[in-house]
Structure 1
Amino acid sequence: MLNSVISEAIAGTVLGGDDAGHGQPSVEGEGFVPLSFFVDRLETLRQRSEGGLYAWTVGEIFTFDMLGDLGEIIACAPTLGHAMRQLAQGLPMLQSGAETSFTVIDDEARLSYRVLDPEIWPRRGDAEITLSLAQNICMRFGMPRGALRQVGLEYVPDRDPSECARHLRVMPRFDQTENYVAFPARFLSNPSVTGSAGTQEFSERSRALLDRLSRRQSRLATGELVRARILRHIGRGSLGQASIASELGMSDRSLRRKLSVEATSYHDILEECRRAQGEALLTRTERSLGDIAHALGYSDQTAFSRAFSRWFSMCPSEIRKSARQPAAGDLRPGLAG
């Protein structure tokens, strides 16, 4: 659905050997591999590992230099707060097709992450390695290993979670709407344990990275940008064309014209996203049909049911039931994902 990619250097570190050697050079000469390829291989390694802890442990060995330019900037961050905000802003340099945010509410800081493409599933290892990387950075700024308050994961457990809880020193919360780690905000003022550059140098490097991200995004097809925005907004914000156009910095008319040049339309992309995300919500969660209809932006449950019956020749409740049976055709796995 999205042409999501991940840095070939990161994939090579995580997967090892020649298993990541299918990269394609970007415009800037950096190598990338399809995110779907990476996630699939990582799931296999995770399944084979003792206690399913492969991704958690690999995320802990990352050093700043392994993260390229982003790692260099995080390494010179004056405080943990600066480092976590930079991670959230700069992760698209290493991986596209995901949403990462960093928030502070009262005395709790939280870094959240989720892959936007509903067709990339299962993706347990990808979530785990990203959250492990975030914890790794926190520890490099002096936060104790056992300081995490909460760990949230979008999947339901595929095994006894007690081994994972012992490793993290907190029992994860499963079947969440996104993946996250939360920790006391008092650690955000911690300086790096290895020293850091001045605030001015950090700010200059941070601005340069954002400029590179902006240039990279400007090269993407308009349809790809719209698709990512819609997937980000489903269940969280407006799905109206005017709203998406405004976020992309263009008028409604300009958006229609650019999509027409690419032989598509906003309506076509919206329906594509609704179909894929709706199927995922039906087959992987226990959310009510009414909630799913609302999240997808339908006026009511009847409109939702009519659309899905047209696409799948089954009503939403039948799609959900079929996904829980072994012979579910080409529907993706349900709650075991």
Structure 2
Amino acid sequence: MSHARVRTAALDGWAGLLADKSSTAMSLPSPAYRRDPVPSGNPMPTAANSMPLVDFVRFSEDVVRQTRDVAIPWLAGVHYDLASLGPIGTAINSAGKVGTALRRMVDYFALLQDCTDIRLEREDDMASVSYRILDPDIWPRHHDAMFSLGIIGQIIRRGTRGAWEKVEFAFEAESHEMRGDIGKVLRASCTFGADSNQIRFPAQMLDLALPPTQGPQADLRQLSNEMVAQRRNTSLVERLAQVVYRDLNTQGIEQERIAREIGMSSRTMRRKLAEEGSSFQQVLDECRMRQAVFEFRTRPDLSIAQIALRLGYAEHSNFTRAFHRWSGASPQAWRANLASTAH
């Protein structure tokens, strides 16, 4: 996951918002990343049209830290030109309803950014879109979330014609970590310390019509083919790790279920993992340990036993032994050292 990438098109629109902040000497990342014209063909991230996700996230954090303006990432998302996303933007812009546009955004998001869990869900009379970077080494990532939810908010606003009643937000970060009054910026109710970043809204908004747009129609079959090609070109270890990170804290990590989701039998998955020099247990153990460090960093109020439970251990003593084998230190010692270096 250290190689997670995002399309450099994500940088579009930020320069104008930073123009009035010249005293901070804030600028976009290296021009080496700006080789990405508006894409019109293959939308898959490549070395020429993408940048490390960690660099983009760091950039969004630096923007707020240096400008002291927490609204910039949100505004960058709300006013983002979806045409910059090429065929994916076309698919979103040509959708007739809010729900269709959001579904296309979610379905093809992996072509824009790696190692991310993004979901559109509906429960009773409320709908939600949640967004979370899966790589536990990328933190803080508070304002990347503001930017991404801003794009989603833009789509919803198109259907509501600007109405914003009953929309709610949740963020992974604690309120004091986001450097400003987020509720005031969003003009909505916000909660913090959640497991994912989320925008919730009345489900009836999914059926709202979007204003018609001029331009080409979406080639959804081509986008689906690109998704298949991307999965084929991603190692099984990487695909498995993303599912494990996605499901930790939410449901049991079952080998049979995950194999079916990936599209193979558990026997075939074990064989292919062995061909890559790994195993299901090795991937699971590595994900758990890296996620444990993430939990230490982001949830200092949780006990070791609570963290062990979140990681799927029935007994926290099993977690303690596994963590010691992985790191050479106990979870308590690691957490204490992390806290001391943070101050």
Distance 1:13 1:322, change over 3 A: same
- C-alpha distance in structure 2 between counterparts of 1:212 and 1:134, whole Å: 22
> Which residue does 2:6 correspond to in 1?
6
1:98 aligns with 2:116: yes
**Within-5 A mapping of 1:118-267:** 118-158=136-176, 163-195=181-213, 205-267=219-281
Distance 1:197 1:102, change over 3 A: farther
Q: Deviations over 1:83-104 (max 9, x none)?
A: 1111111111211110100111
Task: Give the drift of 1:7.
Answer: 0.6
Distance 1:63 1:155, change over 3 A: same
- C-alpha distance in structure 2 between counterparts of 1:32 and 1:313, whole Å: 36
TM-score between the two structures when normalised by the length of structure 2: 0.85
Question: In structure 2, what residue type is equivalent to 1:64?
Answer: L
Contact 1:227 1:269 in 2 (8 A): yes
> Which residue does 1:81 correspond to in 2?
99
Question: In structure 1, what residue type is equivalent to 2:197?
Answer: N
- C-alpha distance in structure 1 between counterparts of 2:188 and 2:31, whole Å: 32
- Identity score, percent: 26
Partner of 2:195, secondary structure, is coil
- C-alpha distance in structure 2 between counterparts of 1:230 and 1:28, whole Å: 25
- C-alpha distance in structure 2 between counterparts of 1:232 and 1:27, whole Å: 21
TM-score between the two structures when normalised by the length of structure 1: 0.87
Contact 1:109 1:182 in 2 (8 A): yes
Question: In structure 2, what residue type is equivalent to 1:307?
Answer: A
> Which residue does 1:283 correspond to in 2?
297
- C-alpha distance in structure 1 between counterparts of 2:170 and 2:258, whole Å: 28
Task: Give the drift of 1:79.
Answer: 0.6
> Which residue does 1:19 correspond to in 2?
30
> Which residue does 1:316 correspond to in 2?
331
- C-alpha distance in structure 1 between counterparts of 2:321 and 2:279, whole Å: 21
- C-alpha distance in structure 2 between counterparts of 1:165 and 1:232, whole Å: 27
> Which residue does 1:70 correspond to in 2?
88
> Which residue does 1:295 correspond to in 2?
310
Question: In structure 1, what residue type is equivalent to 2:310?
Answer: A
Question: In structure 2, what residue type is equivalent to 1:282?
Answer: F
Partner of 1:324, secondary structure, is helix
Note the aligned Cα RMSD (angstroms).
2.7
Partner of 1:147, secondary structure, is coil
Distance 1:91 1:305, change over 3 A: same
- C-alpha distance in structure 1 between counterparts of 2:272 and 2:68, whole Å: 50
Q: Deviations over 1:170-227 (max 9, x none)?
A: 24211100000011222222111244899xx66xx33432221111111111111111
Q: Deviations over 1:3-24 (max 9, x none)?
A: 3110122235447655362479
Instruction: In structure 2, list runs of 5 or more residues that go unmatched.
Output: 16-26, 37-43
Partner of 2:122, secondary structure, is strand
- C-alpha distance in structure 2 between counterparts of 1:82 and 1:66, whole Å: 19
Distance 1:148 1:17, change over 3 A: same
Instruction: In structure 1, list runs of 5 or more residues that go unmatched.
Output: 328-332
Larger deviation: 316-325 or 181-190?
316-325
> Which residue does 2:53 correspond to in 1?
35
Task: Give the drift of 1:274.
Answer: 0.8
Task: Give the drift of 1:28.
Answer: 7.1
1:271 to 275, 278, 285: 285
Partner of 1:307, secondary structure, is helix
Distance 1:2 1:256, change over 3 A: farther
